[in-house]
Amino acid sequence: MISVSVLHRQGEFALDASFEADQGVTALFGPSGSGKTTLVQMIAGLSRPDDARITFDNVVWNDTDSGIFVPSHKRRIGYVFQEGRLFPHLTARQNLLYGRFFAPRGDRTMGEDEVVSLLGIGHLLDKRPSTLSGGEKQRVAIGRALLSAPKLILMDEPLSALDRSRKQEILPYIERIRDHIKIPIVYVSHAIDEVARLSNRVVLLEEGKVRAQGTPAQIFPEVDNLPENMAPQSIIEGRLIGHEPYYGLSIAEVGSEIITLQPVDLPDGTMVRMRIPATDIILALERPENISALNHLAGEITTITSDGPHVLVSLDCGGQRLVTRITLLSAERLRLKPGLRVHALFKAVTVDGGSLFHSSVGPAFSS
């Protein structure tokens, strides 16, 4: 487990952040300039905070009180940057071997073949970075990080320079690392789709401070005005139970309810995480008939909070937490109040790939 507590001032900017991260993916999520990169550089030992206590598995990496500062190369971190930062004069294979060079012999847990097959980069090994696509470069960069036998992986906006389809191509590889290699990952991003899909813990940063931390299902419905000016988002976790090829829809089971999804290319039984923006949910007092929205969940209002000309209405739908943003006018017309039973309606959930969390942990990957 990693535990971070830092205080630091650089120019106008003050960082005052504490968080803990364990197995899986911990997302440092926040708008540009909120201090994410500054924070991961401190974890990596690439910068020295004014005041810090950073420990990893009870080993002190940085403690200003007792003057301890473990240099970067002794922290055993795999660092993946926004742009791959591969050596341009080396082939992909040579770049990978460079990573392994840093792994102490006894710790070389993953071989080159294993990493190559995990990331699907066998056909790229003799190429130089200039001839690789952005997505391919990132896969090689991730491979290089893995071959250094890291105890922790830091990824700083690893997908933000890529277009949408390249992003979709790489996300499954990051999931494989999370689910099969089980090295903790601290994943920096300002993109909610990546974070909702990958992370099991979110640390929300704003102006150098931790505004909230918890699971995506705890954080995203709670927080208004997420990065990119997004409304709060409900997170529902369910199990894929079928596909309707004729209608081009997938179906997930959430408790005793069924949720209709846009088609998802994953096997039945997979646990998926669905994300619904608060602006996409309609409330009704009775269960409406003859309405195109495919998803109807019955629930009870838990809280109503004011949000300018809107209100945020939170619902408990059989244990699932939903939040919707409606106008104050609608809330008054419907006489909404805590305790009232309502129906939440929304269209087939758009699973843009990115809103999916693929948490089924199967056997070790096979090549």
Binding of Mg ion by 314 (CB under 5 A): no
Give 216 or 227: the residue with its C-beta nearer to ligand ADP.
227
Give 12 or 65: the residue with its C-beta nearer to Mg ion.
12
Binding of ligand ADP by 320 (CB under 6 A): no
Give 32 or 133: the residue with its C-beta nearer to ligand ADP.
32
Binding of ligand ADP by 148 (CB under 6 A): no
CB of 35 to Mg ion, least distance (A): 8
Residue type, 221: P
Of the listed pieces 6-14, 118-126, 134-142, 318-326, which binds ligand ADP according to CB under 6 A? 6-14
Q: Which residues contact 216 (CB under 8 A, 6 or more apart)?
A: 195, 196, 199, 200, 202, 235, 273, 357
Binding of Mg ion by 234 (CB under 5 A): no
Q: Considering only residues 26, 34, 37, 234, which one is a binding residue for Mg ion as defined by CB under 5 A?
A: 37
CB of 32 to Mg ion, least distance (A): 7
Binding of ligand ADP by 48 (CB under 6 A): no
Residue nearest to Mg ion (CB): 37
Count of residues near Mg ion by CB under 5 A? 2
DSSP string, 72-139: GGGT-EEEE-SS----TTS-HHHHHHHHHHTS-GGG--S-HHHHHHHHT-GGGTT--GGGS-HHHHHH
> Which of Mg ion, ligand ADP, none does residue 101 bind to, with CB < 5 to 8 Å depending on kind?
none
CB of 81 to ligand ADP, least distance (A): 12
Instruction: Walk across the sheet containing 271-277 and list its strands.
Output: 257-261, 249-254, 233-244, 271-277
- Which stretches within the chain are classed as H helix? 36-44, 92-101, 112-119, 134-147, 164-176, 192-198, 216-222, 328-333
φ and ψ at residue 277, rounded to 5 degrees: -60, 145
Binding of ligand ADP by 232 (CB under 6 A): no
Binding of Mg ion by 233 (CB under 5 A): no
Residue type, 285: L
Find out whether 198 and 178 touch, Cβ atoms under 8 Å. Answer: yes
Which 27-46 positions form the footprint of ligand ADP (CB under 6 A)? 30, 32-38
* Contacts to Mg ion by CB under 5 A: 36-37
Residues that bind ligand ADP (CB under 6 A): 10-11, 13, 30, 32-38
